């Protein structure tokens, strides 16, 4: 059955698309839509046409799953042009989100009506694409060039009332959308209004330097990305070329974007983060436990950040700390976050007041008797964690979820301090907890399915991406971070300056270099964790420089010096000759001859270190899918999204090549860190990729 159907009411044809879940423009939809428009155009009984969608949204765009396949006619730009060429007024009736190809179809229509709670946008850039179905040409004809560019460069949707103000929407529907659209059609017919074709509208001219300035203004936020520059070129063309010439150019540049590795990486990211919500072995119908109230243990920066995220999500929150000074600090942190939220327009004053109402501070565990979930965020020391969990076990109601925010420690050992290990789970938030989108959900050996399902629900409620992983030292994220950090530390001793390593990785696309990150997180934090570990490699070079700096009290930004120097009140790292001397002295003491290390080697050793450890993690069953690892690294550690995460990046190079390089590293640097995992060899030798592995395991 075609996903497109047509009915007629009082001379108005209603073309309805029904292609769940989001009415994406699959081949069948494009074909059905084109046929329906042609039929209505040729039908004398039809005076005007309404295009509307069933289900939760108007068309959400081209079908992203089709991008990897050979394009099939009718192509979307041709369908959009066909709609526009229709001799009778065509009205798009928009609810939900008209995105990408969806908005392009709507702009091909002659008029647009939308529900006030709808939104429209051209988010192609988030997939490494440009609007490739005439959107770069039609949007600047409906609204100001700058508004159009901003929408396409940020890719964020514009709420219908604002789109109405901007000229993209012609009418807002007061009541039922279909009724409103039919009325609009009747009004147009009664007034004998001819089709208003967007292609015929003029583009408002801009100042001479507008595009050069615009390109300059987006340099920072589009660092390393291909599509944004092409989008600007297309919009420049809207003023330079005829509509048809500019559309042909748009199509050419769209194909370049679609075939780029960046788009492949971003499309992988899109699907991987949705896939993460589906946990193998955990049915979609797994029940969840209530999540009305939460207790956060520990009012430090992390605890306060988690508490803030929870009150913002409408939960009643108890923030518990053993001393009054801690609670005072925690409350002040939350107050600052609320004030910042109001200042940035994230929440209004009434919402901030409601958040405050939902927060209770306490030092008494007895107050936690009725909470649905507890999230412990105290010091990263097993003895303290166990003591806290013993107390929670004594006071919390049966069925309460007892979660730990540990970033490295054994969940089973923590759970053993309670008589209810099935209720215990790891919820590893990333700092700052109210901003970072990742929630690593760590299942212990006894964690109940409904506790995992509820944790995923919590992640969604907090606006985060939850990824379920297994229990081992550091789980997925921090376990891999050790390999990445290890190579950084080794290369320092071998002669690469901290700032050279940071520059190489930042230029490659990491949000920050590892040495700047270490100073931000605090060198004392990793130092303490390493002190607790009994399984570190027997290697005097291992984290040697970081350990020395921590022992000197150089903790990073918080002490004004760490791997770098910081001026008072500034977060700008300044290279420190003292650190260079210290590194040189350590290298001499270890008999390491220093040398020049290229940016290419820096990137390869750090990123291949990640890939090798990620492969071991898959081999050990700690991550269920390569895509889960990618999501963790993109959302928790600033891995460039356009490279799709470390495992997708390995696929994009080719696992045979990655394997060969890892073997070279093993031969050059020894097998201690570079012995290739059996899974990597197996995939390389059989010509498979991590994506193949994921597809095989369904």
- Report, as residue numbers or ranges, the catalytic residues: 104, 124
Task: Pick from 24, 225, 368, 448 the residue near ligand 3HC by CB under 6 A.
Answer: 24
Distance CA 565, CA 109 (A): 59
Based on CB atoms, which residue is closest to ligand 3HC, 24 or 375?
A: 24
Residues 142 and 238: beta-carbon distance below 8 Å: no
Based on CB atoms, which residue is closest to ligand 3HC, 60 or 368?
A: 60
Based on CB atoms, which residue is closest to ligand 3HC, 65 or 397?
A: 65
Task: Pick from 99, 149, 458, 611 the residue near ligand 3HC by CB under 6 A.
Answer: 99
Task: Pick from 13, 16, 47, 63 the residue near ligand 3HC by CB under 6 A.
Answer: 63
Nearest distance from residue 115's CB to ligand 3HC, in Å? Answer: 15
Residue 495: CB atoms within 10 Å? 16
What residues pair up with 373 in beta bridges, in sequence order? 294, 401
Six-digit token string for 632:
């963790």
Distance CA 629, CA 612 (A): 12
Residue 201: CB atoms within 10 Å? 14
Element (H, E) at 236: helix 227-240
Candidates 384, 338, 312; CA nearest to 330 is 338
Size of interface with ligand 3HC, in residues (CB under 6 A): 25
Nearest distance from residue 266's CB to ligand 3HC, in Å? Answer: 10
- Categorise residue 314: left if φ over 0, alpha if ψ from -120 to 50, beta otherwise: left
Q: Decide: residue 98, CB within 10 A, 0-12 exposed, 13-18 middle, 19+ buried.
A: buried
Nearest distance from residue 612's CB to ligand 3HC, in Å? Answer: 30
Based on CB atoms, which residue is closest to ligand 3HC, 123 or 330?
A: 123
Nearest distance from residue 653's CB to ligand 3HC, in Å? Answer: 26
Stretch that binds ligand 3HC, among 40-48, 59-67, 342-350, 426-434 (CB under 6 A): 59-67
Task: Pick from 50, 53, 76, 439 the residue near ligand 3HC by CB under 6 A.
Answer: 76
Candidates 516, 492, 524, 526; CA nearest to 565 is 516
Based on CB atoms, which residue is closest to ligand 3HC, 98 or 306?
A: 98
Pick out residues in 600-659 that bind ligand 3HC (CB under 6 A).
none
Nearest distance from residue 136's CB to ligand 3HC, in Å? Answer: 9
Nearest distance from residue 174's CB to ligand 3HC, in Å? Answer: 24
Stretch that binds ligand 3HC, among 20-28, 204-212, 371-379, 612-620 (CB under 6 A): 20-28
Based on CB atoms, which residue is closest to ligand 3HC, 544 or 642?
A: 642
Based on CB atoms, which residue is closest to ligand 3HC, 84 or 321?
A: 84
Based on CB atoms, which residue is closest to ligand 3HC, 63 or 494?
A: 63
Pick out residues in 243-302 that bind ligand 3HC (CB under 6 A).
274
Strands, E assignment, 498-555: none
Task: Pick from 33, 49, 53, 62 the residue near ligand 3HC by CB under 6 A.
Answer: 62
Stretch that binds ligand 3HC, among 19-27, 215-223, 522-530, 639-647 (CB under 6 A): 19-27
Residues 6+ apart with CB under 8 A from 343: none
Distance CA 135, CA 130 (A): 8
Stretch that binds ligand 3HC, among 54-62, 367-375, 569-577, 690-698 (CB under 6 A): 54-62
Six-digit token string for 90:
């065509």
Nearest distance from residue 645's CB to ligand 3HC, in Å? Answer: 17
Residues 334 and 293: beta-carbon distance below 8 Å: no
Nearest distance from residue 310's CB to ligand 3HC, in Å? Answer: 21
Task: Pick from 19, 97, 143, 147 the residue near ligand 3HC by CB under 6 A.
Answer: 97
Nearest distance from residue 666's CB to ligand 3HC, in Å? Answer: 39
Residues 4 and 17: beta-carbon distance below 8 Å: yes
What residues pair up with 465 in beta bridges, in sequence order? 438
Distance CA 679, CA 676 (A): 8
Distance CA 463, CA 465 (A): 7
Residues 6+ apart with CB under 8 A from 695: none
Task: Pick from 9, 39, 54, 65 the residue near ligand 3HC by CB under 6 A.
Answer: 65
Nearest distance from residue 163's CB to ligand 3HC, in Å? Answer: 15
Q: What are the C-alpha distances in Å from 268 to residues 73, 126, 262, 378, 619?
A: 24, 11, 10, 36, 21
Distance CA 188, CA 185 (A): 5
Q: What is the DSSP string of 413-432?
A: HHHTTSS-GGGEEEEEE-SS
Pick out residues in 411-470 that bind ligand 3HC (CB under 6 A).
none
Q: Decide: residue 370, CB within 10 A, 0-12 exposed, 13-18 middle, 19+ buried.
A: middle
60 part of the interface to ligand 3HC, by CB under 6 A: yes
Contact flags string 112-151 toward ligand 3HC, x per CB under 6 A: -----------xx--x-x-xxx-x----------------
Q: Is the dihedral of CA 15, 21, 23, 27 positive or negative?
A: negative
Based on CB atoms, which residue is closest to ligand 3HC, 97 or 262?
A: 97
Q: Which residues bind ligand 3HC (CB under 6 A)?
A: 21-22, 24, 57, 60-65, 76, 97, 99-101, 104, 123-124, 127, 129, 131-133, 135, 274
């Amino acid at each position: 059955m075609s996903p497109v159907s047509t009915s007629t009411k009082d001379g108005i044809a209603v073309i309805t698309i029904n292609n769940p879940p989001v009415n994406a423009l699959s081949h069948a939809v494009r074909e059905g839509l084109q046929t329906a428009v042609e039929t209505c155009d040729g039908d004398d009984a039809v005076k005007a046409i309404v295009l509307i969608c069933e289900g939760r949204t108007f068309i959400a765009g081209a079908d992203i799953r089709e991008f990897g396949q050979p394009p099939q006619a009718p192509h979307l730009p041709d369908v959009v042009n066909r709609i526009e060429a229709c001799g009778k007024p065509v009205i798009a009736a928009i609810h939900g989100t008209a995105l990408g190809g969806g908005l392009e179809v709507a702009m091909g229509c002659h008029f647009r009506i939308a529900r006030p709670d709808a939104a429209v946008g051209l988010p192609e850039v988030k997939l490494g694409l440009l609007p490739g179905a005439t959107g770069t040409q039609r949007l600047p004809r409906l609204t100001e060039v700058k508004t159009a560019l901003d929408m396409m460069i940020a890719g964020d949707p514009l709420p219908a009332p604002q789109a109405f103000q901007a000229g993209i929407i012609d009418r807002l529907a007061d009541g039922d959308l279909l009724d409103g659209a039919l009325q609009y059609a009747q009004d147009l017919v009664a007034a004998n209004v001819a089709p208003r074709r967007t292609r015929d509208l003029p583009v408002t001219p801009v100042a001479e330097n507008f595009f050069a300035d615009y390109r300059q203004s987006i340099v920072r936020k589009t660092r390393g990305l291909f599509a944004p520059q092409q989008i600007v070129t297309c919009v420049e063309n809207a003023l330079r070329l005829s509509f048809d010439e500019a559309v042909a150019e748009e199509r050419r540049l769209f194909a370049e974007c679609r075939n780029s590795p960046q788009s492949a990486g971003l499309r992988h990211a899109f699907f991987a983060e949705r896939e993460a919500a589906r946990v193998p072995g955990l049915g979609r119908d797994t029940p969840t436990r209530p999540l009305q109230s939460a207790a956060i243990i520990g009012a430090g920066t992390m605890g306060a950040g988690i508490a803030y995220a929870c009150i913002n999500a409408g939960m009643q929150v108890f923030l518990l700390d053993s001393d009054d000074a801690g609670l005072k600090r925690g409350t002040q942190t939350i107050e600052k976050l609320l004030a910042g939220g109001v200042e940035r327009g994230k929440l209004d004053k009434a919402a901030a007041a409601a958040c405050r109402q939902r927060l209770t501070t306490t030092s008494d565990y007895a107050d936690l008797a009725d909470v649905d979930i507890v999230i412990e965020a105290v010091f990263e020391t097993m003895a303290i964690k166990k003591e806290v969990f013993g107390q929670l076990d004594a006071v919390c109601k049966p069925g309460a979820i007892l979660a730990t925010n540990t970033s490295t420690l054994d969940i089973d050992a923590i759970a053993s301090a309670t008589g209810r290990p099935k209720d215990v789970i790891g919820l590893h938030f990333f700092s700052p907890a109210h901003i970072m989108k990742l929630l690593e959900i760590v299942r212990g050996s006894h964690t109940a399915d409904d506790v995992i399902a509820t944790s995923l629900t919590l992640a969604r409620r907090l606006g985060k991406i939850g990824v379920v992983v297994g229990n081992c030292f550091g789980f997925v994220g921090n376990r891999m971070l050790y390999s990445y950090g290890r190579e950084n530390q080794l290369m320092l001793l071998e002669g690469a300056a901290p700032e050279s390593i940071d520059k190489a990785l930042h230029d490659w696309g990491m949000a920050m270099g590892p040495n700047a990150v270490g100073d931000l997180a605090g060198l004392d934090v990793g130092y303490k964790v390493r002190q607790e570990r009994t399984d570190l490699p027997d290697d005097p070079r291992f984290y040697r420089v970081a350990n020395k700096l921590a022992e000197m009290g150089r903790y990073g930004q918080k002490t004004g010096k760490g791997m770098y120097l910081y001026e008072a009140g500034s977060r700008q790292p300044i290279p420190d000759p003292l650190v260079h001397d210290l590194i040189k002295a350590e290298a001499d003491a270890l008999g390491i001859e220093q040398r020049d290390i290229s940016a290419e080697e820096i990137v390869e050793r750090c990123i291949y270190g990640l890939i090798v450890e990620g492969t071991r993690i898959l081999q050990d069953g700690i991550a269920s899918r390569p895509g889960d690892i990618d999501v963790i690294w993109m959302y928790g550690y600033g891995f460039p999204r356009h490279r799709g995460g470390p495992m997708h990046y390995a696929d994009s190079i080719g696992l045979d090549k990655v394997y060969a390089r890892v073997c070279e590293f093993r031969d050059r640097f020894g097998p201690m860190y570079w012995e290739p995992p059996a899974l990597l060899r197996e995939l390389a030798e059989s010509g498979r990729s991590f994506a193949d592995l994921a597809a095989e395991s369904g």
